[in-house]
Chain A
Amino acid sequence: MTLLSLHNIRKSFGAVDVLHGVDLSVAAGEVVGLVGDNGAGKSTLMKTITGIYQADTGSIEFDGKDILALDPGQRRRLGIEMIYQDLSLAKQQDVASNIFLGREPTKRLLGLFPGFVDKAEMDRQASRMIERLGAHLPSINRSVGSFSGGQQQTVAIARALTFNPKLVIMDEPTAALAVREVQSVLDLIRRLKSEGIAVILISHRLNDVLSVTDRIVVLRHGRADADLVTARTNMNEVVSRIVGGGDTAAAAAHEQRG
C-alpha cells in the first residue's frame, strides 16, 4: 500500500531550479534511503514533504489524501514527522521534559488548582516509550545533554513517536555517532519499521543506508535518478549513480572502507 506518493515535483528559488520533476513513492512500513551528492536537492525535497516549502508544481499524496496545500502543522497531524540533524533538544532538561515539551500532561494540585505539570505521569510515559524502542538510558531524570549522541537520538525518536506518525523522515541520524552508537540507531529504525512506520533516511553513510533500507532512491541534479531495491544492488552501483559515471571504482572502494 502506497503511503506517500510524489509526482513531478518542481521547486525553484528565484532563478535557481532545485527540483526538476521528482517522482517518489514510499509504502507503509517501508524504509527508503535518500542519497545524493551535496546540492542534489535532498533537503529541499524533504521540506516540500513536511510542508516547510510549497512545491511549485506537481502533486503530493499522503495516505490517500492530496496534501499539497496543507501547512506543516496539518501535515504533522496527518502523520508526517521529521527529525532534524540537530535534533532540536533542550539539552539541560531531562528526558520526559524533552519528549513532552509543549504538550505536558497536567493535573490539579491538591485536587483544586488546575494546570500543574504531572511529572510522575510524564516520567512513566517517557519510560514506556524508551522501552518500546528497546533502548536503555542511564537515567530518565538526567539532563539530555549528558547523554551520548545515540542516546540523544533515542530521545528525539521517542518524541517523534508521541505524535503517532505514519512516516518519519530522518536527516543524517548517524552522521556524528560512534560506531557502536550507529548500530543502535539502525536498530531503532528497524524497530520503527516493525511497528509499521515508514522511514525516509537521508544519509551520506552508504554502509548504513545499505544495511537498513528496503529501497534506495538516488537524487541527482534535482531528479530521482535511480530507484534501487537494496537487496539487489551494491555499493558500486549506488556510488556510480550518485556521481553519475566516470571512475566510480575508486570512489566505491573508498566508501567500502569507510
Chain B
Amino acid sequence: MALETAQPGLWARVQRASVERLHIRLESLLVLVLLSTAMALLSPFFLSLSNFLNILLATSTIGVLAIAATFVIGSGGLDLSLGSVMGLAGVAGAYVAVNLGWPSVFAVIACVLAGAIAGYINGQLVTRAFVPAFIVTLGMLGLARGLALVISQGRAIYGLPPEIVYIGQGRPLGIPMPVIIFVLTAIVAHTVLAYTRFGRHTLALGDSEGAARAAGIRVEQHRRIIYTLSGALAGLAGLLFTARVNAGDPTAGINYELTAITAAIIGGTNLFGGRASILGTMIGALIMGVLQNGLTLLAVQSYYQQMAIGAVLILAVFIDQYQVRKESRV
C-alpha cells in the first residue's frame, strides 16, 4: 500500500515540519517579518525598544481575545460576542470596585466571572437549544453590549483603585503588566491546546463531530466548556483594557472580535475547525499589532486601518482555502 508520491520540495518539507513540530504556519511568520521590515524602512520610529513594547502592549488585549477565538474556532464553533463580552466584563469590574466599593480582588473576579457567565450562556444555547453558534453569539454581541450600557448608564466608570490600575499600567522590570499577563496566558493556552487531552479533543471535535462522538468524547459538555472558557478569556481581556485606560468603558471592545478572529485565522486556524495553534495565533496577533502600529506611525487615518483589517481577514481566509483546495487535489 506504499503510495509514495514524488519527494516534495525543500520549501514544502520545511513547511510540513513547522506545522507538525511547532504548530505554526511558516507563511504567517514570513508575513510578520516582511511587514516589520517594510514598516522599519518606512518609519524611523518603528525600530525601537519602546515602540516594540508599545506594539506588545497594544496587542495584549486583542491577543487574549484571539486565544479565545482560536479555541472556539478550532472546536468548530464561532464566538462573535468576544468584543461585547469584553466591554461588559470591564464595566462589571469597574462597577464592583467603584460603585460598590468592594476590594480590588473582587473586581478582578467580577471581570472574569462576568465573561465566563456570558460564555456559559452561549454554550448552553448552542448545545441544548440547538441555535447555531453564529446566531447565539451574534445575539450575545447585542445583549452584552446593551447590558454594559445599562450597568454603566451609558457613561464610563472612573476612579479605579490603584491595584487595578497597576494591572494595566504597572511596569515591573520595565515590562508592561498586560504584556506579562498576555504572554503567560498564551503559554498556558498553548500547552493546553497542543499537549493535553482536552486540547486534542477540542481539535478532533472541530475536525469531525461524528468521529469525536464515536471515540467517546462528551461532545456537548466539551463545547460548553469551550464557550465558557472563551467568555472567561474575554473577561480577562476586559480587565486588561479597563485597567490600562483606567476606566470601565461600556463601548470598549467594539469590533475587537473582527481583529481577534482575523488574528486567529492568519495564524493558521481553520475557519471550519480541526486545525489551530496558539503560537500561530500569537504571530497573527503580532501581524495585526504591527499593521495597526505601523499605519499609525505613518499617520494613516484610523478609518483606513479598519478597512485594512477587514481586507486582511478576507485575504487570509482566501489563501487558506486556496491551499486546502490545492492540497486536496494532490
**Nearest 10 pairs of A and B residues by beta carbon:** A102-B215, A90-B207, A92-B274, A101-B215, A136-B2, A88-B214, A184-B1, A88-B211, A102-B216, A90-B204
For window 203-224 of A, CB contacts with B under 8 Å fall at none
Which parts of A61-88 form the interface with B (CB within 8 Å)?
84, 86, 88
A127 proximal to B (CB < 8 A) = no
- The answer to whether A91 and B207 have CB atoms under 8 Å apart is yes
A91: chain B residues at CB < 8 Å are 207-208, 274
Residue numbers in A under 8 Å from B5 (CB-CB): 138
Task: Give the distance in Å from the alpha carbon of A101 to the alpha carbon of B330 in the complex.
Answer: 27
The 0/1 profile, CB within 8 Å of A marked 1, for residues 42-78 of chain B is 0000000000000000000000000000000000000
Nearest A residue (CB) for B207: A90
The answer for the CA separation of A89 and B211 in the assembled complex, in Å, is 5
Cα of A151 to Cα of B1 in the assembled complex, Å:
7
> Could you tell me how many residues of chain B have their Cβ less than 8 Å away from some Cβ of chain A?
29
What are 20 A-B residue pairs whose CB atoms fall within 8 Å in the complex?
A: A84-B214, A88-B210, A88-B214, A90-B207, A90-B274, A91-B207, A91-B274, A92-B203, A93-B200, A93-B204, A97-B204, A98-B211, A101-B215, A101-B217, A102-B201, A102-B212, A119-B195, A136-B2, A142-B16, A150-B1
- The reply to whether the CB of A115 lies closer than 8 angstroms to some CB of chain B is yes
List B residues at the A interface (Cβ < 8 Å).
Answer: 1-5, 16, 20, 195-197, 200-201, 203-204, 207-208, 210-212, 214-217, 270, 274-275, 327-328, 330
The complex places the Cα of A93 from the Cα of B204 at a distance, in Å, of 7
Q: How far is the CA of A257 from the CA of B319 in the complex (A)?
A: 45
Q: B211 to A101, Cβ gap below 8 A?
A: yes
The minimal Cβ–Cβ distance linking A155 to chain B, given in whole angstroms, is: 11
Bound-complex Cα distance A145 to B274 (A) = 12
Chain A residues contacting B203 (CB-CB under 8 Å) are: 90, 92-93
A63 and B197 CA atoms in complex are apart in Å by: 34
Query: Which residues of A from 134 to 173 have beta carbons under 8 Å from B?
Result: 135-138, 141-142, 145-146, 148, 150-151, 154
A244 to B196, CA, bound (A): 56
Q: Is the CB of B211 within 8 A of A117?
A: no
Give chain B residues whose Cβ lies under 8 Å from the Cβ of A53: none
Query: Which partner residue on chain B sits nearest A133 by CB separation?
Result: B1
A255 on the B face (CB < 8 A)? no
CA distance A221 to B231 in the complex (A): 55
Question: Which of B3, B16, B210: most chain A Cβ within 10 A?
Answer: B3
CB <8 Å contact, A117 and B1: no
Determine how close the nearest CB of chain A comes to the CB of B325; give it in whole angstroms: 13
Beyond A88-B210, A92-B275, A101-B200, list 11 extra A-B contacts (CB 8 Å).
A88-B214, A90-B203, A90-B204, A90-B274, A92-B203, A101-B212, A106-B197, A117-B200, A136-B2, A138-B2, A138-B3
